[in-house]
Structures are given as C-alpha cells and as structure tokens.
Structure 1
C-alpha cells in the first residue's frame, strides 16, 4: 500500500506542480508526518523532489522529470470498472482507489493531450452534493474498514461474519456466504446466502465484519443482475402494495426517492407519467404521495384514494375556518 501511495504522491506533483505537505496529506488521506516520511523515501530512491521555503512554498519535482509509474493495481482497476457502471466508488468504499487510478490515467496521456483532457474534465460536474431540488436522498455511509473487509471476502470467495442490525432487532453476528455487492440509488447491498437460503443485507446496517478463512459455499459463476431482479420480485410480492400513479414529470425523481420500487412507467395522454409504484403498505403510500401534493394522483387502489381524499378534506376544513382564538400569537 505504501508503494501505491508513493506513486500517487509523484503523480500529484507531476500533474499539479508545487504542493504543500498538508495538501498532499489531504489528497492521499494520510497525516502530514506520513507525507514527510514519503518525501524522504522518494529522495533516497533518486526521485528529484525538492522543497521550497516561504509563504508559497511546498514540494515539487525538478522540471522535465518523468518515469513510468502508470501501472494500475487491483483496487484501482476495480474502481475504474465499478465507477463506469454507476456510483459504486462511493458506496463500495473505492473512492481513494478511483482517485489514484485517475491520476495514473491522466499521467499516461500524451503531453499534448493531458492539458486538454484536464481542462475538459473541469467543464463537467457529475452528481454534486447539493441540488436545486429538495429532499435529495443522502448516501448511506459505511465505515471504510468494514467495507474493505466485505469487498475482500466477496472477491476472494471467503465466508463472512457480519454484525448486522436488522430493522427493529438487536444487532446480531451472522455467518454468511457472500455472492456480490449491489448499489441502487446510492444504497449498497450485500447479496449472500445463509444456511443455503438467499439473504440480502443493507451495507449501512453492517456494524462490523470479519473475513473467515474457509471458502464461501456459492456457485463459481453468478449473474448478479438476474439474482438482484429475482430477489426484488420476491421482496415486492410479500406484504407490499402496488399503486398506479399519475405524476408531473418534473416530480418523477421525488416519487422515485420515496417508493420501494417502480415496475412500469409510460407517458399519459395528458403529458403526465403513469407509474406502477410499490410501497411498504397503505400508510407508506399515503405519506409518500401526500408529499407531492397536486403534482401526483393515486389512480388505484381505491382505498388509498379514499384515504388521501379524507385527509385533504380534513386539512381543507381546518384551514377553511377562522383560526382559534386560544391559539399561539401570530408571528410579527
């Protein structure tokens, strides 16, 4: 791991020029003291790193220095492949590996292409933390050390012990056979079997993990997409409610963020979308659709329409009369 970090340090200095020890430490996610030790190691190995004192000082490489340091390690290659398929680098703990891999990719570009590519990359911003719309779903955080153990067991094909906090239950240790990792809307899941039965665990509820030495009891090949679809179908068939909804296209993402799943979507003749959304129960569906106000309408089932109608009527009645005299004072 230190060798990878030394490579990343050299590439950072090549691509950005002079950098302070604190900036390097932040980029590499280590302490400033570790950066200073790495600088000494590079100098001892003949890499021409020099320090500049003063207010605008820092560390830099001698002009024109270049060496072949662009070989990707396993995690970096995995991060690139995973990032290309979605937001996996964030959920699966591959962010640092992705940053390191991208530095190597940039360094491998010809000199005349490197500046152009770097400038072009600064013209695009993908999935920023802030949004113009409210209620953006937050990414579920998983401790890096725990995610590393889980990821290693999945790839090595070893059994796994997880300390798991299921809903409304005290955390328990479970021994599972990991099959694969899935991310959906920035939520991560571990697909596994336990005593031969299919199990799906939300990664954010894994409090700790231990990789066991014995091999996992699982097939050598897996169609993860098919396995996920089958588990979703079983999950949605058990006690959930399907709702036919028409929704303003501008609020589609808001609806998706509250539904368990959306099975079908098609444009209506009125310009709105018609969706078949699945919710945990009637109460969940009522709450979710109430958040959308007049931008959504439940077309079926009828009991849900009646519940929403009665709730709207009660709200209209409350605000249709004069405020109570014994209420709180109006704000100034």
Structure 2
C-alpha cells in the first residue's frame, strides 16, 4: 500500500507542480508526518523531490522528470469500472483506489490532452456533498478492512463470515455464500445465500467480515440485474408490508416516491394533487414517511394511520399551545 501511495505522491506533484505537505496529506488521506517520511523515501530512491521554503512553499519535482510507474493495480482497475458513480466506488470501499487510478490515467495522457482534460475537469462537479438546500448527501461507507474482506470473498467465490445487525438488535455472526454487490441511491448491498435461501445484507450494517477458505455454494454466472429485480419483487410483496392510499402535493411527490418501497397506483386529480397508493416496509415506516411530508400529503387509508398522525399532531400542538 505504501508503494501505491508513493506513486500517487509523485503523480500529484507532476500534475500540480508544487504542493504543501498539508495539501499532500489531504489528497493522500494520511498525516503530514507520513507525507514527510514518504518524501524522504522518494529522495533516497533517487526521485528528484525538492522543497521550496517560504509562505507559499511546498514540495516539487525537478523540471522534466518523468516516471513510467503508471500501471494500475487490481483495485484501481476495478474502481475505474465502477467510476460511473464516484459515490458508488466509496460505498464499495474503493474511493482511495479510484483517486489513485485517476491520477495514473491522467499522467499517462499526452501532454496536450492532459492540459485539455485538466481544464475541462475544472468545469465539472459530480455528486457534491450537499444539494442546493445544503442538505448533506454523504454515501454510506464501509471501513476499509471490512470492504476488503467482502470484496475478496465475492470475487474469489469463497464463503464469507459477517457480523451483522438487523434493525436495533445486537449484531451476530453468520456465514453466507456471497453472490455480488449492488449500490442503489448511495446505499450498498451484499447479495448472498444462506443455507440455500436468498439473503440481502445492507453493507453499512456489517461491522466485521472474514473471508473463509471454503468455496461458496453459488452458480458460476449470475445476472445481478435480474437477481436484484426478483428480490425487490419479493420484498415489496412480503412480510409486514403496508399499502397506503393518500393525496400528495406535486411539490412533495418525488420525496414520497423516494421514501416508499413502491408505487402501486397513481392518478392526478383536477387540483394538481395526486391520489397515490404506495407500499411501505411496515406500519412504523408508513407513519414516519407521512409525518415527514407534513401538510404536503394526506393519508386517506388505512384509518389507523390517520388516527396515528392525528394523535401525533395533537400532541405536538399541545406542546406548543403557549
């Protein structure tokens, strides 16, 4: 890993010309002390890194220095394959690999292309951390150690032991046969089987993982798109699913759809509001979702949900009566 970091450090200096130890530490996600040790290691290996003193100083390479250390490692190549979503790479624990791979790709470009690409990149911003209302849009991320073990088991076709928490329950260990990884709306999932039964695990709920030597019991090839669709269908029609009929203001419709499990039916009314039937995971999910929409929606059925929302609103009004 240190060798990859040293290569990334050289490529950063080639790309930016000069960077302070603080800026390098931020880009490489390490401490400034680590950066200084890496600079010493590069100098000892014959890489011409020199320091510029002063307020606007930093580290730079001697003009004309080039390196051919642009080969991608396995994780960097994998990160580029999922780079259609930068946050998708982060969900699978490949954020740092993606950053390193991009540096190597940029460095491999001809000089004229490199200048053009760098200028164009300054005009693009993909997946900012906040939206226009300053709401944080952070993706779920796994600890590197957990992400590495999960990926290894998936790619090697080995059984995987995970420490997994369901809801508010205490996490427990379980051994699964991993099939593949899926990311949806910045949330990552592990598709697997357990004792022959299909299982779907939220990556953020895995607090520890261990790749086992035993081969996983799974088909040689799998259509992840079809597998995800099939599991979604079973999820929407099983368990404690609750179907709610409601009216929603057009300004809040997208928020409702993003929160619900599925839209069963929808009809736009003359006043612009939509009459919608949607499904939620359970009664608690339905009550929470309708409460978030405030006066932008009205639950019509079932009656118990109207009663629950009325009781909650009455309690809140009582709290602020004075």
1:170 Cα deviation from its structure 2 partner: 2.2
Partner of 1:185: 185
- Partners of 2:195 and 2:58 in 1: CA distance: 57
Contact 1:188 1:203 in 2 (8 A): yes
TM-score when scaled to structure 2? Answer: 0.86
Contact 2:25 2:31 in 1 (8 A): yes
Please state whether the residue corresponding to 1:33 is helix, strand or coil. helix
1:56 Cα deviation from its structure 2 partner: 2.5
1:67 Cα deviation from its structure 2 partner: 2.8
Partner of 2:282: 281
Alignment of 1:217-296 (within 5 A): 217-237=217-237, 238-259=239-260, 261-263=261-263, 268=268, 270=270, 271=272, 276-296=277-297
- Partners of 1:264 and 1:73 in 2: CA distance: 46
Q: Note closer, same or farther for the CA distance 1:137–1:119 as it changes in structure 2 (3 Å cut).
A: closer
Contact 2:189 2:203 in 1 (8 A): yes
1:249 Cα deviation from its structure 2 partner: 4.1
Please state whether the residue corresponding to 1:292 is helix, strand or coil. helix
Gaps of 5+ in 2: none
Contact 1:20 1:58 in 2 (8 A): yes
Partner of 2:102: 102
1:212 Cα deviation from its structure 2 partner: 1.0
> How large is the RMSD of aligned CA atoms in angstroms?
3.0
Contact 2:86 2:127 in 1 (8 A): no
Q: Note closer, same or farther for the CA distance 1:253–1:306 as it changes in structure 2 (3 Å cut).
A: closer
1:16 Cα deviation from its structure 2 partner: 0.7
Q: Paired residues, what number?
A: 320
Contact 1:160 1:175 in 2 (8 A): yes
Q: Note closer, same or farther for the CA distance 1:316–1:183 as it changes in structure 2 (3 Å cut).
A: closer
TM-score when scaled to structure 1? Answer: 0.84
- Partners of 2:211 and 2:99 in 1: CA distance: 26
- Partners of 2:236 and 2:86 in 1: CA distance: 24
Gaps of 5+ in 1: 328-332
1:223 Cα deviation from its structure 2 partner: 0.9
- Partners of 1:114 and 1:266 in 2: CA distance: 50
